[in-house]
């Protein structure tokens, strides 16, 4: 029974990583696309421009979405730490059987 709960917690953590990284990745991809299109239209060949724009957009996204991201992370961390005794007890009972 302990392995099932452990796998469930691992699944929760992996989904949390996906959810927390999605807004930042989406903004970086969108800004990269827009800057790439603007570079194509204006024929600007500067390689530092897209990187700088992405960095600024990512920092703004973290600044705006930071409280939501941190709140979700803290909530999930509390849930995992609260589940540790249950998982340890289940593992101990399974090992004793």
Q: Collect all residues with Cβ–Cβ distance below 8 Å to 70 and sequence separation of at least 6.
A: none
Q: What is the pTM of this model?
A: 0.75
The whole-number pLDDT of residue 4 equals 81
Give yes or no for a contact between 69 and 31, defined as CB atoms under 8 angstroms apart.
no
**Cβ count near 71 (within 10 Å):** 10
Mean pLDDT of the chain: 87
The whole-number pLDDT of residue 87 equals 73
The answer to whether residue 1 scores a pLDDT higher than 60 is no
The whole-number pLDDT of residue 29 equals 95
pLDDT per position as a tens digit, 44-74: 888 888 899 999 999 999 999 999 999 999 9
């Amino acid at each position: 029974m302990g392995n099932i709960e452990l796998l469930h917690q691992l699944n929760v953590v992996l989904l949390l990583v996906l959810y927390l990284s999605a807004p930042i990745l989406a903004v970086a991809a969108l800004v990269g696309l827009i800057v790439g299109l603007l570079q194509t239209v204006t024929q600007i060949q500067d390689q530092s421009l897209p990187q700088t724009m992405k960095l600024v957009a990512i920092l703004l996204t973290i600044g705006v979405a930071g409280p939501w991201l941190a709140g979700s992370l803290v909530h999930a961390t509390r849930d995992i730490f609260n589940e540790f005794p249950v998982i340890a007890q289940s593992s101990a009972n399974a090992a004793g059987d």
